[in-house]
Amino acid sequence: MNRITEIIVRALTGAVVSAVPAWPPAAGAQAIPERSGPWAYSHQPAPDRPMQMATTPATEDANVWLLLVCERARLSAAVMHAAGFPYAINAESAIVLRFADHPDVTVEALPVGESQVSIAGAAARHLLPLVIESERVRVSIVDSDGGSRDYTFSLQPNGVALAGIVRDCWDDR
């Protein structure tokens, strides 16, 4: 997923992504995702490798994004920092997600470089219903010094932005 998140972060910041085959579709064209509510979303309809992506920024820091990617019916989730997190995250760290009216969810943090913290595979799929129905989520990332860094992500409206992800990574339950 590291390459996927790099694509969307670069697209969202207006950079041309020419190093990735078949993305953007036209050589040298700028990949500009569509917008719906707080979400930016995009899809790659290639028959051999369809992919849906959706991301929403943190209210505290416009460089931090919650990213959902559905590729070949596999859902991945991550918290990304466009310039790299200004603190270290250990491999044994955790991410705590707080959705209103639901118990806190603690998942394994999988640091990928200094700009991405992925949520362990199966957990992303189990979180999707909460993302779909909740107004917002507060994500706490424990850094290597034991401190907690909090980010709040607005999740509604999400029907348009998450439609492809729901169809390709959730409806096949």
Percentage of the residues of the chain whose pLDDT score is greater than 90: 51
Distance CA 18, CA 24 (A): 7
Query: For the segment 122-163, what is each residue's pLDDT rounded down to a tens digit?
Result: 888 889 999 999 999 999 998 888 889 999 999 999 999 999
Query: For the segment 70-83, what is each residue's pLDDT rounded down to a tens digit?
Result: 988 889 999 999 99
Distance CA 50, CA 75 (A): 12
DSSP state of 58: B
Distance CA 107, CA 104 (A): 10
Distance CA 3, CA 95 (A): 21
Q: Judge whether residue 6 has pLDDT over 60.
A: no
Chain centroid to Cα 144, Å, comes to 22
Residues 6 or more apart in contact with residue 19 via CB below 8 angstroms: none
Q: What is the identity of the amino acid at 57?
A: P
Map out the domains of the chain as residue ranges: 2-169
Q: What is the pLDDT, as a whole number, of residue 141?
A: 93
Residues 6 or more apart in contact with residue 173 via CB below 8 angstroms: none
pLDDT category at 50 given cuts 50, 70, 90 is confident
Kindly report the pTM of this predicted structure: 0.80
CATH number of 2-169: 2.60.40.1880
